[in-house]
Amino acid sequence: MSDTSGWGPQGWGRHGGWTPPPPPPKPGVIPLAPLGVDHVLGGAFATMRRYAKPLFGTGAAAYGALAVVMAVAAALAYLSVREHVRAVSEPGSAFSWDHGMPVLVAFGALWLVGLLGTLAVNSFIQASCAATLHEAVLGRPATFAAVWRRAWSRTPSVMAVTALLSFILLLPLGACVLLVVGLFVMILSGWAVPLGMIFLLTLVVTPLAAWLYVLFAFAPAIASLETAGPLQALRRSVRLVRGAWWRTFGISLLAGVIVAVASMAVRLPLQFAMPDPPPVDPDSSTSTVLLDQLSSQVGLYALLGLVGTLITQLAASVFLPLVTAVLYIDRRIRKEGLAHTLAQAAPVQPYAP
pLDDT tens track for 39-59 = 999 999 999 999 999 999 999
Q: In sequence order, what are the beta bridge partners of 18? A: 12
Cα gap 273→56, rounded to integer Å: 29
pLDDT tens track for 304-340 = 777 778 888 899 999 999 999 999 999 999 999 898 8
- Is 217 a residue whose pLDDT tops 90? yes
Q: What is the pLDDT of residue 154?
A: 92
Average pLDDT, whole number, for the chain? 81
- Is 81 a residue whose pLDDT tops 70? yes
Q: What is the pLDDT of residue 252?
A: 95
pLDDT tens track for 62-80 = 999 999 999 999 999 888 8
Cα gap 91→10, rounded to integer Å: 85
List the domain boundaries for the chain.
37-345
In which band, very low, low, confident or very high, does the pLDDT at 1 lie, cut at 50, 70 and 90?
A: very low
Q: In sequence order, what are the beta bridge partners of 12? A: 18
Q: SS in 3 state form for the chain?
A: CCCCCCCCCCCECCCCCECCCCCCCCCCCCCCCCCCHHHHHHHHHHHHHHCHHHHHHHHHHHHHHHHHHHHHHHHHHHHHHHHHHHHHHCCCCCCCHHHHHHHHHHHHHHHHHHHHHHHHHHHHHHHHHHHHHHHHHHCCCCCHHHHHHHHHHHHHHHHHHHHHHHHHHHHHHHHHHHHHHHHHHHHHCCCCCCCHHHHHHHHHHHHHHHHHHHHCCCHHHHHHHCCCCHHHHHHHHHHHHCCCHHHHHHHHHHHHHHHHHHHHHHHHHHHHHCCCCCCCCCCCCHHHHHHHHHHCHHHHHHHHHHHHHHHHHHHHHHHHHHHHHHHHHHHHHHHHCHHHHHHHHCCCCCCCC
Does the pTM surpass 0.75? The reply is yes
Integer-rounded Cα Rg, in Å, for the chain is 27
Q: Which has more confidence, 29 or 193?
A: 29
Q: What is the pLDDT of residue 10?
A: 40
User: What's the average model confidence in pLDDT over 260-282?
Assistant: 71
User: What's the average model confidence in pLDDT over 2-27?
Assistant: 57
Least confident of 30-34, 52-56, 166-170: 166-170
Contact 236, 226 (CB under 8 A): yes
